[in-house]
């Protein structure tokens, strides 16, 4: 017979507050066209992107995260000292160790919480949200701060016609806490490692260290392969998340997919047969693809502009490099 005392956590977990930070510099397509042979019309038709935000030297991964976290904590109505864990999803913190989560935890005044980074690309927010839910239900933390943050302008090849226009910078954060009713559904997540080469860093850090190529490592992707995978496979995952939560498309109020590409978003809406009354996040038009930050940033904007409201039922899904994905149904804070 086990002598281990059972964990005593909450019955359920919910998103209590959300915050976002977008760098002050807005970069229109005209700036992108200075280094690639393309046109504003082509970029908009291929991606739906008109502008994106690029961080300044002072707008570091940590600085943007602190700003977004402060807003999320205030929105949740708690104090930083109550945060029991900080989870940061990012691929653009360039130190292998220590995790940027520890620095952020210290700067927001969170005391001594558990703090760690995860690397799950554009699905990272969903992974972090699922881990946070588990911590709260298990009882190892009462409140968990989940951050998605990227400075993808540092990893963008400004001369690559296929990707130069895609990526933006920013941070989004949520506070996850206890709930008396289900407010974060079961997560449908997974990976398809046989497709890991479709989105990747051009040069591994060890190769860069050894050979010092002329160009700094950047993100590259096989656009058509990624597009087909996202359109055809991720709609299936989204439907599985709806089924797992016992939600029909007509029961949804909001759809917040990863902001990768407007064509992908529109195709998913069509495949899922979402009713016209469902609000769809299309933050990609003015924010670009911010990877792990895109879902919380889009969520924050929908709530701030009144397009979505507290208590709405939302389907969120992230997908990207790996290839990895994570989808769940949540109640908005």
Start-to-end Cα distance in the chain: 41
**Helix crossing, 100-107 with 61-76: angle to 10°?**
50
Residues whose CB is less than 8 angstroms from the CB of residue 65 and which lie 6 or more positions away in sequence, other chains included: 21, 88, 100, 104, 147, 149, 171, 173
CB atoms near residue 7 (< 10 Å): 9
Rama region for 123: left / alpha / beta (φ>0; ψ in -120 to 50; rest): alpha
Please state, in angstroms and rounded to a whole number, the distance separating the CA atoms of residues 163 and 245: 35
**Of these residues, 29, 53, 258, 261, which one is catalytic?**
258
**CA distance to 34, 85, 245, 303, 312, per residue, from 308 (Å):** 37, 28, 20, 5, 7
CB atoms near residue 201 (< 10 Å): 15
Query: If you ran DSSP here, which 8-state letter would residue 156 be given?
Result: -
Cα dihedral value 119, 312, 298, 230, nearest 10: 60
DSSP lists the bridge partners of residue 317 as 257, 327
**Of these residues, 29, 53, 93, 122, which one is catalytic?**
122
**What does the DSSP assignment read for 81-124?**
GGEEEEEEE-S----SSS-HHHHHHHHTT--S-EEEEE--GGGH
Query: If you ran DSSP here, which 8-state letter would residue 91 be given?
Result: S
Is residue 258 flagged as an active site residue? yes
Is residue 289 flagged as an active site residue? yes
Is residue 277 flagged as an active site residue? no
For residue 227 the two structure tokens come to 């597009």
Please state, in angstroms and rounded to a whole number, the distance separating the CA atoms of residues 242 and 246: 6
Q: Would you please indicate which residues are annotated as catalytic (active-site) residues?
A: 122, 258, 289
């Amino acid at each position: 017979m086990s002598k281990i005392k059972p964990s005593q956590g909450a019955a359920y977990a919910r998103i209590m507050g959300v915050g976002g930070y977008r760098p002050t510099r807005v970069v229109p397509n005209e700036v992108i066209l200075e280094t690639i042979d393309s046109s504003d019309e082509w970029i908009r038709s291929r991606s739906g992107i008109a502008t994106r935000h690029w961080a300044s030297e002072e707008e570091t991964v940590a600085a943007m995260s602190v700003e977004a976290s402060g807003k999320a904590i205030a929105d949740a109505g708690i104090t930083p000292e109550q945060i029991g864990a900080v989870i940061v999803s990012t691929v653009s913190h360039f130190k292998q160790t220590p995790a940027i989560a520890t620095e952020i935890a210290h700067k927001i005044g969170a005391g001594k919480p558990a703090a760690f980074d995860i690397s799950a690309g554009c699905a990272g927010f969903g992974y972090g949200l699922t881990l946070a839910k588990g911590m709260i239900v298990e009882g190892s933390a009462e409140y968990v701060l989940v951050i998605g943050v990227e400075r993808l302008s540092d990893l963008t090849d400004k001369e690559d016609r296929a990707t130069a226009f895609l990526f933006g910078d920013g941070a989004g954060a949520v506070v996850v806490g206890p709930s008396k009713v289900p407010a974060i559904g079961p997560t449908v997540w997974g990976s398809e490692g046989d497709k890991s080469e479709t989105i990747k860093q051009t040069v591994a850090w060890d190769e860069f260290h050894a050979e010092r190529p002329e160009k700094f490592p950047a993100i590259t992707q096989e656009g058509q392969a990624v597009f087909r995978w996202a359109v055809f496979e991720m709609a299936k995952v989204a439907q599985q998340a709806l089924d797992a939560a016992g939600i029909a498309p007509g029961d949804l109020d909001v759809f917040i997919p990863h902001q990768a590409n407007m064509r992908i978003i529109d195709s998913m809406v069509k495949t899922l047969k979402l009713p016209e009354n469902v609000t769809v996040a299309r933050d990609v038009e003015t924010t670009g693809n911010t990877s792990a930050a895109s879902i919380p940033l889009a969520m924050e904007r929908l709530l701030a502009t009144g397009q979505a409201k507290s208590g709405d039922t939302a389907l969120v899904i992230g997908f990207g490099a790996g290839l990895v994905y994570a989808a769940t149904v949540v109640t908005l804070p």
